[in-house]
């Protein structure tokens, strides 16, 4: 919270990830030279450092983040790239929870899935 000044100046998640330096930067020069995309690292290095260990803990203990991590590692084969993606997801989750003044609920997605059929049934 201290590194983002309480999200006072942040308007959306894209701006927040850019502020943290977790946005993707593509290297491209004309038509012949194309480098692989990387995170920009132009943002707040303290924020990125602070998100590293919580991301590893989320990968280890939260099934949702564990499955996202496994999917990204199977696609790219690079564990650190997947861990950085989890850092970004955690940062965006913190921003959303803070703006909505809600607490984190591990069963949020499961509750949403069970509530949808009831709403669909009511409309029909």
Tell me how far apart the alpha carbons of residues 73 and 10 are, in angstroms, rounded to a whole number: 30
Residue 93 vs residues 28, 39, 68: alpha-carbon distances, Å: 31, 19, 14
* Mean pLDDT of the 34-62 span: 88
Segment 49-59 shows an average pLDDT of 94
Asked whether the predicted pLDDT for residue 8 surpasses 90, the reply is no
Per-residue pLDDT, averaged over 84-95, amounts to 92
> Quick check: 106 and 93 in contact, CB under 8 A?
no
Looking at residue 55, what is its pLDDT? 95
Average pLDDT over residues 75-83: 91
How far is Cα 27 from Cα 106, in angstroms, rounded to an integer? 37
Least confident of 14-18, 23-27, 62-66, 115-119: 115-119
pLDDT number for residue 117: 59
Which tokens is 43 given?
A: 């943002």
Which range is most confident: 38-42, 54-58, 95-99? Answer: 54-58
Structure tokens at 13: 């998640």
Nearest to 18 by CA among 50, 42, 37: 42
């Amino acid at each position: 919270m201290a590194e983002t000044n309480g999200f006072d100046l942040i308007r959306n998640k894209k701006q927040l990830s850019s502020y943290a330096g977790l946005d993707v930067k593509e290297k491209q020069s004309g038509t012949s030279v194309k480098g692989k995309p990387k995170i920009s690292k132009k943002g707040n290095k303290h924020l990125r450092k602070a998100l590293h260990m919580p991301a590893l803990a989320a990968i280890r203990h939260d099934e949702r983040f564990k499955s996202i991590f496994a999917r990204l590692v199977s696609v790219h084969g690079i564990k650190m790239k997947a861990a950085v993606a989890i850092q970004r997801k955690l940062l965006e989750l913190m921003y959303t929870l803070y703006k909505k003044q809600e607490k984190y609920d591990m069963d949020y997605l499961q509750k949403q899935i069970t509530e949808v059929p009831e709403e669909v049934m009511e409309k029909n």
